[in-house]
A and B are shown apart, each in its own frame.
Chain A
């Protein structure tokens, strides 16, 4: 499937792997992909995903802020926390206790206090989580649905909105629903 990815989409995926490595994750997840969409290091050059966000008036900075807030909760969105509260699990308390003992932002992790500083994880061995795999698979469908030949960052963004989970929740909160994104994709195709 990766052979159909544009250079832009490949750079997005590589950036996501870099973020997963940086926050000490065992897997690359959908939130890492979303972080890569709005990564300032990447965005300087301009990307298909950012153009699509601009087309629907969604601000990348707001997404960055929301994702880092979610990270502090171990990658759990408000909807996730509400669902757990329904079960009697108060995530706010869990986060407060963990941060008490292991420092602020402990669940967001980071390698600063990691055990073996000399031994770096080999990024190419970091596997994709199920959610990230589903997003990448869905990006192919997003491209097919609007009859685009190659899979670009904009299709990964559109796919992120369709796979249920915290990344889709963040996108929904900034008004980037699957419908709006797909309409913007179609519109772009008609005007190019």
Chain B
């Protein structure tokens, strides 16, 4: 870390890198969570349409992404 960024951190400015990193990490976590929840719903007998409705996406989109499993 350079002196300037250290000073910025001490002054309470948030580091953009940390914020951006959090967004990227959240996106990856979201993908894994979706896979877990969709799989669980299928095991519980949910149709692709029902799953798509809850996720707020089209049936085609959810089937294309998770269907061939």
A residues with CB within 8 A of B? 24-27, 29, 74-76, 79-84, 86-87, 89, 91, 94, 98, 101-102, 106-107, 109, 111, 113-116, 119-122, 125, 164-166
- The A-B contact count (CB < 8 A) is 87
Q: Does B39 contact A74, Cβ atoms closer than 8 Å? A: no
Within 8 A of A (CB), among B18-58: 18-19, 21-22, 24-26, 28-29, 31-33, 35-36, 39-40, 42-43
Say yes or no: A121-B68 contact (C-beta < 8 A), given A86-B22, A91-B29, A115-B42. yes
Measured between beta carbons, the chain B residues less than 8 angstroms from A81 are 25
Q: Which residues of B contact A115 (CB under 8 A)?
A: 39, 42-43, 69
B interface, over-half SS: helix
Determine whether the beta carbon of B28 is less than 8 Å from that of A116. no
How far apart sit A83 and B27, CA to CA, in the bound complex (Å)? 13
Check A120 against B68 for contact (C-beta < 8 Å). Answer: yes
Contact A25 B68, beta carbon cutoff 8 Å: no
The docked-state distance in angstroms from the alpha carbon of A120 to that of B68 is: 6
Task: Give, as a whole number of angstroms, the nearest-CB distance from B18 to chain A.
Answer: 5
* Residues in B neighbouring A164, C-beta threshold 8 A: 21
CB contacts (< 8 Å) of B32 on chain A: these are 74-75, 107, 109
Q: How large is the interface on B (under 10, 10 to 19, 20 to 34, 35 or more residues)?
A: 20 to 34
- Asked if residues A83 and B40 are in contact (CB atoms below 8 Å), the reply is no
Majority secondary structure, A binding face: loop
Closest-CB distance, B10 to chain A (whole angstroms): 16
Q: Give the shortest distance, in Å, between B59 (CB) and chain A (any CB).
A: 15
Choose one: B22, B40, B68; the contact of A87 (CB below 8 Å).
Answer: B22
Contacts of A113 in B (CB 8 A): 39, 43
Please report the C-alpha to C-alpha distance between residue A98 and residue B25 in the assembled complex, in whole angstroms.
17
Are B29 and A121 in touch, CB under 8 angstroms?
A: no
Q: B21–A106 contact, CB under 8 A?
A: no
- How close is A167's CB to chain B, nearest CB, in angstroms? 11
Complex Cα spacing A29 to B27, Å: 13
Would A116 and B29 be within 8 Å (CB), given that A25-B35, A98-B36, A107-B36 are in contact?
Answer: no
Q: Is the CB of B28 within 8 A of A74?
A: yes
Q: Which residue of B lies closest to A88 (CB)?
A: B22
> Nearest-CB distance from A9 to chain B (Å)?
25
A81 to B29, CA, bound (A): 10
Asked if A79 and B36 make an inter-chain contact with CB atoms under 8 angstroms apart, the answer reads no
